C-alpha cells in the first residue's frame, strides 16, 4: 500500500442551526487522500455470526457505506475501508464542493482528481459500484449557503457560482463516471427551512447541470435526495404527511429517488416505522428508490433512547422497508462509530448525536447490527 492520508472537515446536516438533525458526513476539501495499491483484504476478525437467510426471496438492493473513518489516523482509515468493502457491493461519496479552491482559481478537474477520484478508484479496485452525491449548500445547516461561499461573500444564486457548480458536476461525471450521480442533497429540507432564493438557486443549478451532462453524453443516472422524516412531516413538524410532489416536479431530470433517513430522530422504536416509509415517497413516479444515507444510533444521545440491540432491530426493519419499496441501493452513512476525541477542534456541537451510527465501534469491534448487515448481504441479490 502507498498512502498519503489527510482528514478534513466532518459536516453533519442539521434541521436548522439549533435543532439536532440527521447528518450527511462529507468528503470536503482534502479529506481522505488515498492512493492505494492494495493486496486482497485479509480475514475479518470482527465479523458477525448471525446466519444468513439465503432461502428467502433475496434482496433487490446493493449495499455499502461512505469512506468516513472512525479516527483521524491513516492506518485506521485503511483498516475501516478494508473491513467494510468485504461486506459491500457499492460505495458512496457525499461531496461538498471545494468552493474556496475553485474561487481561488483551481479547476474543477484538478479538484476532482484529488480525493474523489482516488476514492472512486479504490472502490472499483474492490469491484464496487460507485455512487456520488454532490452537496452545493451548507451540510451543517440546511437554511444556509455553503460556509466557503458565505466566507467569500458569494452565493449560489450568482450565475458565476452556478457555473462553477456545473463545471464540478461535469468533472465528476467525466473523471469518475459514477453509476449514479446525485446533484443535490435533501432538497425538501432546503425548501422547508432555507430562504426561497437559495432553494431556487439549487433548482436552477442542478437543472442546468443535468442538461450539461445529457448534452455531453454522460451515462450517469441522475438524482437528488430528499429527507424522509421531513417528507413525513416529522422534522420539522408539519400537520401530517407532506410528501415530495414539489421535488418530483422541480427536479424532473431525476432518474432515481435518493432518500436520506435517520428515523431515530423521529421514532422511539424501529418497529414503529411504517412499512411504506420509503415506498410512499416514490408513489407512482416510477423512480427507483435509493437510500443514500442514514442509520440508527446504538447509544442514547440527546433526547433519543437507544441501545445496540435496538440498532440491530432497526436494520431488520429497514430491510422490510427496502423490500416494500423495491429499493436498488442501501448506503449506511458510516461503518464505524466516530471517535470524536481524535478529531481536531472545533467540532460541531451536535456531532455526538450522530457519532454512534456505525455497525462497529470506533475501535472496529463488532456491534450486534453487524451480524444483521452480514446476513442481509449474504442474501442473493435479485
| DSSP output for 73-126 | -HHHHHHHHHHHGGG-SEEEEEEE--HHHHHTT--HHHHHTTHHHHHHHHHHHT
Q: Is the pLDDT of residue 103 over 60?
A: yes
Please tell me the total number of residues recorded for the chain in this structure: 382
pLDDT reported for residue 141: 86
Tell me whether residue 18 is in a domain.
no
State the chain's mean pLDDT as an integer: 87
pLDDT digits (tens, 9 = 90+) for 201-241: 999 999 999 999 999 999 999 999 999 999 999 999 999 99
- Chain-centre distance of CA 197, in angstroms? 25
CATH number of the domain within which 58 lies: 3.20.20.80
Mean pLDDT along residues 184-201: 98
Give the cell for residue 88: 459491500
Q: Is the pLDDT of residue 268 over 90?
A: yes
| DSSP output for 8-70 | -------SSSSS-------EESSS-------PPP---TT---PPP-TTS--BSSEEEE----S
pLDDT digits (tens, 9 = 90+) for 112-130: 999 999 999 999 999 999 9
Tell me whether residue 8 is in a domain.
no
- Chain-centre distance of CA 274, in angstroms? 22
**3-class secondary structure, 226:** strand
Tell me whether residue 19 is in a domain.
no
Tell me whether residue 16 is in a domain.
no
For the chain, how far is it from start to end, CA to CA, in angstroms?
35
| Kind plus residue range of the DSSP H or E element containing 224 | strand 221-227
Tell me whether residue 215 is in a domain.
yes
The domain of 337 spans 27-377
Predicted confidence band of residue 318 (pLDDT cuts 50, 70, 90): very high
Give the number of domains in the chain.
Answer: 1
pLDDT reported for residue 56: 54
Tell me whether residue 11 is in a domain.
no
Tell me whether residue 184 is in a domain.
yes
Mean pLDDT along residues 262-286: 97
Tell me whether residue 2 is in a domain.
no
Q: What percent of the chain has pLDDT over 90?
A: 80
The span from the CA of 150 to the CA of 159, in Å, is 16
What's the predicted TM-score (pTM) here?
Answer: 0.88
Amino acid at each position: 500500500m502507498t498512502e498519503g492520508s489527510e482528514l478534513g472537515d466532518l459536516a453533519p446536516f442539521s434541521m436548522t442551526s439549533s435543532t439536532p438533525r440527521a447528518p450527511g458526513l462529507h468528503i470536503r476539501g482534502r479529506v481522505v487522500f488515498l492512493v492505494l495499491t492494495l493486496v486482497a483484504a485479509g480475514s475479518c476478525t470482527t465479523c458477525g455470526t448471525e446466519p444468513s437467510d439465503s432461502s428467502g426471496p433475496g434482496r433487490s438492493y446493493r449495499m455499502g457505506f461512505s469512506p468516513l473513518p472512525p479516527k483521524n489516523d491513516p492506518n485506521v482509515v485503511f483498516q475501516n475501508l478494508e473491513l467494510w468493502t468485504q461486506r459491500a457491493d457499492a460505495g458512496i461519496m457525499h461531496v461538498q464542493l471545494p468552493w474556496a479552491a475553485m474561487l481561488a482559481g483551481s479547476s474543477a478537474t484538478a479538484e476532482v482528481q484529488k480525493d474523489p477520484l482516488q476514492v472512486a478508484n479504490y472502490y472499483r479496485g474492490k469491484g464496487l459500484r460507485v455512487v456520488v452525491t454532490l452537496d452545493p449548500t451548507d451540510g451543517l445547516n440546511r437554511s444556509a449557503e455553503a460556509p466557503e461561499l458565505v466566507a467569500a461573500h458569494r452565493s449560489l444564486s450568482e450565475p458565476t457560482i452556478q457555473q462553477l457548480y456545473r463545471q464540478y458536476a461535469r468533472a465528476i461525471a467525466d473523471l469518475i463516471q459514477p453509476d449514479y450521480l446525485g446533484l443535490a442533497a435533501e432538497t425538501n429540507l432546503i425548501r422547508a427551512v432555507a430562504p426561497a432564493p437559495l432553494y431556487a438557486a439549487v433548482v436552477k443549478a442542478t437543472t442546468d447541470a443535468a442538461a450539461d451532462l445529457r448534452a455531453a453524453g454522460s451515462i450517469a443516472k441522475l438524482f437528488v435526495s430528499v429527507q424522509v422524516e421531513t417528507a413525513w412531516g416529522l422534522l420539522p413538524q408539519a400537520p401530517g404527511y407532506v410528501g415530495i410532489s414539489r421535488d418530483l416536479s422541480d427536479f424532473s431530470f431525476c432518474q432515481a429517488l435518493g432518500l436520506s433517513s435517520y428515523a431515530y430522530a423521529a421514532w422511539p422504536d424501529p418497529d414503529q416505522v411504517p412499512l411504506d416509509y420509503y415506498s410512499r415517497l416514490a408513489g407512482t413516479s416510477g423512480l427507483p428508490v435509493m437510500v443514500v444515507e442514514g442509520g440508527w444510533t446504538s447509544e442514547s444521545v440527546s433526547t433519543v433512547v437507544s441501545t445496540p440491540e435496538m440498532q440491530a432491530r432497526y436494520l431488520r426493519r429497514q430491510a422490510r422497508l427496502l423490500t416494500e419499496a423495491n429499493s436498488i441501493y442501501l448506503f449506511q452513512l458510516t461503518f464505524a462509530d466516530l471517535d470524536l476525541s481524535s478529531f481536531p477542534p472545533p467540532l460541531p456541537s451536535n456531532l455526538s448525536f450522530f457519532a454512534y451510527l456505525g455497525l462497529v465501534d470506533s475501535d472496529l469491534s463488532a456491534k450486534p447490527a453487524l451480524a444483521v448487515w452480514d446476513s442481509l448481504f449474504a442474501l442473493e441479490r435479485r
